Amino acid sequence: MAARRKKIKIAVTGLNAIDSPGPGIPVIRALRASGDFDVRIIGLSYETLEPGIYMHDLVDKTYQIPFPSSGKASLLTRLKYINSIEKIDLIIPNFDAELFNFITLANTLRKEMGIRVFVPTLDQFEERHKSNLPAFGKKHKIKVPFSKMIFSTAEIPSLRKDFTYPLVVKGKYYDASIAYTPEQVASHFNKISAKWGLPVIIQQFVYGQEVNVTAIGDGKGNTMGAVPMRKQYITDKGKAWSGISINDRKLMDMTKKLIRSTKWKGGMELEIIKTANDEYYLLEINPRFPAWVYLAVGCGQNHPEMLVKMAMGEKVVPFKKYDIGKMFVRYSYDLIVELKEFEKISTLGEL
Amino acid sequence: MRLKKNLALSDSGFVFDPSTGDSFSTNPIGLEIVKMLQTGKDADEIKAQVVKTYLIDEVGFEKDYYDFVNTLTKLKLSDGSPEKKD
């Protein structure tokens, strides 16, 4: 007789399954695919048109939560209300920008509401910030493209001293654009700083193939799972619309070394450029699962399920293998939504 | 040349390099040559086999063979080591 699946209530953010997708929906799909958990999914949304709100086959109930910029006090108040109804066991945050609040609230959530989160420590989170990446690379002996923070367009002409064009202009949380001229840097600077604030990061462009790794660490230095992927189709926003799992030992060694030396806790994504000379440059560490994390499930490693088990204190063994040559192909799909539903989430903040 | 050991070949001529995620298609004779390269056969052995099986002379074969092998190298399907000579 098959063992009964354990009932668990998990709140998930990142329901924006849009052209630059949040990881919430793939994380939920992974949780629904779990053989060990029978999940009730509570969606936590920021905006009323996040598609996940209306995907009732995946999300059981959605509550709006305040934007990260509102601070952790207002988030805590809202979570108290939601928890009074839902009795949440675990929250899986999926946005870089909200992680600070969830990391700093972790103890309070556990003590006051019995809600667990399994996220990196504040030190881990801060250390891998784009603006700190050169120091991070030096400390952990990983190649990182040269980068520099700038705070005003007045600094752009002097970039020629340190960089050769093209270069990459990056927001502190999201967005990256390639610039071939100082004028383009100025244009990207204005767009990105208006959206994500300052500083803006200037990074040397490295030619090569984009490879990414989705991984999960136990917080003690052990890699509990890792699947590398090569982007096959990239959107104009630089997002993988299609990718394939690959067998790249160097990439796996780099991932394990990084998780060992940082004692990374939780999900993560490594964004890496592999040059024609087989050199690997770390572009970014995202402190959460990527939007393509469901590929890992397809390859035999359910990373979100592993995260739930670790968060709930269950005994786990690391994944040892994964399928190579498995592909994902993303697609868009039009949901038909009744105005009543839109009205409810817009006015009541829940659906 | 020596091909990467872990290349996956299918009977349809689909060649998959698991270390990079690249995939290619080749025609039946290309597949036959790739398979021979993968088993470690050198150019002379492959030439002997192909000339024996198909209507082609040695000079004609060599021209196409080295062209094909150059393509494989450009596509980074070679393991980088020189061809084994006995």
What secondary structure, in 3-state letters, does chain A show? CCCCCEEEEEEECCCCCCCCCCCHHHHHHHHHCCCCEEEEEEEEECCCCCHHHHCCCCCCEEEECCCHHHCHHHHHHHHHHHHHHHCCCEEECCCHHHHHHHHHHHHHHHHHHCCEECCCCHHHHHHCCHHHHHHHHHHCCCCCCCEEEECCHHHCHHHHHCCCCCEEEECCCCCEEEECCHHHHHHHHHHHHHHHCCCEEEEECCCCEEEEEEEEEECCCCEEEEEEEEEEEECCCCCEEEEEECCCHHHHHHHHHHHHHHCCEEEEEEEEEECCCCCEEEEEEECCCCCCCHHHHHCCCCHHHHHHHHHCCCCCCCCCCCCCCCEEECCCCCCCCCHHHHHHHHHHCEC
In this prediction, residue A291 has a pLDDT band, given cuts at 50, 70 and 90, of very high
Give the strand pairing for A176-179 and A167-170.
antiparallel
A273: which chain B residues are within 8 Å (Cβ-Cβ)? Answer: none
Does position A55 have pLDDT exceeding 70, yes or no?
yes
Give the model's pLDDT for residue B86. 42
Is A328 within 8 Å of chain B by CB? no
**Residue A242 in contact with partner chain B when CB distance is under 8 A:** no
Question: With bands split at pLDDT 50, 70 and 90, how would you rate the model's confidence at B56?
Answer: very high
d(CA A233, CA A249): 23
Query: What count of CB pairs under 8 Å joins A to B?
Result: 22
Q: In this model, does residue B85 exceed pLDDT 70?
A: no
Q: Is the pLDDT of residue A131 over 70?
A: yes
Does the pLDDT value for residue B80 go beyond 80? no
CB contact under 8 A, A248 and B19: yes
pLDDT in tens, A73-117: 999 999 999 999 999 999 999 999 999 999 999 999 999 999 999
The verdict on A246 touching B (C-beta cutoff 8 Å) is yes
Contacts of B18 in chain A (CB under 8 A): 246-247, 324-325
> Is the pLDDT higher at A12 or at B76?
A12
- Out of A200-204, A242-246, A323-327, least confident range: A200-204
Cβ–Cβ below 8 Å for B18 and A229 = no
Residue of A209, A229, A246 with shortest CB distance to B18: A246
Q: Give the distance from residue A210's alpha carbon to the nearest chain B alpha carbon, in angstroms.
A: 10
Give yes or no for residue B65 having a pLDDT over 90.
Answer: yes
Which of the four pLDDT bands, split at 50, 70 and 90, describes residue B11? very high
Residue A12's alpha-carbon distances to A93, A100, A128, A288, A309, in angstroms, are: 6, 16, 23, 12, 16
Which CA distances in Å does A180 have to A152, A237, A276, B85? 18, 17, 21, 49
The percent of residues in chain A predicted with pLDDT above 70, rounded, is 99
Q: Do B20 and A324 touch (CB under 8 A)?
A: no
Q: Does A76 touch chain B (CB under 8 A)?
A: no
- pLDDT band, very low/low/confident/very high, at A14 (cuts 50, 70, 90): very high
Q: What is the pLDDT of residue A277?
A: 86
Contacts of B14 in chain A (CB under 8 A): none
Closest residue of chain A to B19, computed from CA coordinates: A247
Facing B19 at nearest CB: one of A229, A232, A247:
A247
pLDDT over threshold 60, residue A1:
no
Residues of B with Cβ-Cβ distance to A212 under 8 angstroms:
none
Q: Which residues of A touch B21 (CB under 8 A)?
A: 229-230, 232, 243-246, 325
Mark yes or no for CB contact B19/A209 under 8 Å: no
Residues A15-31 have a mean pLDDT of 95
Q: Give me the domains of chain A, ranges plus CATH numbers.
A: 6-118+334-348 (3.40.50.20), 146-204 (3.30.1490.20)
pLDDT over 90 percentage in chain A: 84
- Which residues of chain A neighbour B8 with C-beta distances below 8 Å? 325
Looking at beta carbons, which residues of chain B come within 8 Å of A209?
20
